[in-house]
Chain A
Amino acid sequence: MNVPPLERILIVEDDPDIRTIAAFALEAVAGLEVRTCASGLEALREAERFAPRMILLDVMMPGMDGPATLAKLRLLPGFERTPVVFMTAKVQPDEVEKYRQLGVVEVIAKPFDAMTLGDAVLFIWSRVAGARLES
């Protein structure tokens, strides 16, 4: 079973420093094509242009937060099943369960380790894409 490569990932994060580090880790280390957005609204526009295979989405952002962005993303043609990973500092079990019920495939806790972020993302992708191939 060959899992298709992840190739393109969209990072949605309002903090510029975190955005920079996450993008660099995924580009230079994981070898992915990355685009970044600073808000949910920007992400909805960019998603249609960039067609990412996976989206890293900050939960708490000014304006449209992560859950609201996810809900609107699901209404876009072609994004009904795009794997979305939440990034958040709020990772109590009940909070994570709530995120999963919204349809995210994984939750990455903040602060994350920039050195291992690429491996973590690739692992999540292989799990999700592999499961979809089997189904």
Chain B
Amino acid sequence: MTGRRNVAGADRPSVLRAKLEAVRLDFTEGLPPRLRALQAEVLEALEAGEPVPARWNAIRNDAHRLAGAGTTFGHPAVSRMAAELERRIEAVETTPPPWSPALTAALREAAMALGRLAPGGEVVSPIPEANS
């Protein structure tokens, strides 16, 4: 993207607020499926049980993006839970398998908590402990 869209001084705050609100609405509309998808990715990766670095890395990046954007667009709880999920994924990534039940349970719990923030959340069936 390239641009120079300078707005007259007095109009700047209102123009930026309007733009921010438009992006916020788009973000909010896309949030429920995004939360459910992230929850499902974590649970499926746990069920697979094998430590696939690229897979966990991709999931952690998704969580990181949510953590960074949530508060900006009016969803601080999403930011907090996504940051928690990110931390727990890091814990799994830096721990050689087999992972302890406590480690996977903490990760699963964070994923479920994030999913619950979506309307109609926690739609993914609980999956039995992997790697335990």
Contacts and interface: CB of A to CB of B under 8 A. Distances in A.
A69 interface: no
B78 to A, nearest CB: 11
Interface core residue of A21, A23, A36, A115 (most chain B CB under 10 Å): A21
A20 B79 contact: no
Nearest to B4: A33
A29 B15 CA distance: 9
Contacts of B79: 111
B19 A24 contact: yes
Contacts of B19: 21, 24, 28
Contacts of A35: 1-2
B83 A89 contact: yes
A18 B4 contact: no
Interface residues of A, number: 28
A16 to B, nearest CB: 9
Contacts of B119: none
Contact of B27 (A17, A28, A32): A17
A34 interface: yes
A24 to B, nearest CB: 5
Nearest to B79: A111
B4 A29 contact: no
A111 B2 contact: no
Contact of A21 (B1, B12, B70, B72): B72
A25 B73 contact: no
Contacts of A122: none
A93 interface: no
B64 A60 contact: yes
Contact of B15 (A18, A28, A33, A36): A28
Contact of A28 (B7, B69, B71, B72): B7
B12 A29 contact: yes
B13 A18 contact: no
Interface string B54-65: 000110010011
B123 interface: no
B6 A31 contact: yes
Contacts of A111: 68-72, 79
B82 to A, nearest CB: 10
Interface of B: 1-7, 12-13, 15-17, 19-20, 23, 26-27, 57-58, 61, 64-65, 67-73, 79, 83
- 3 closest A-B pairs by CB: A111-B71, A111-B72, A31-B6
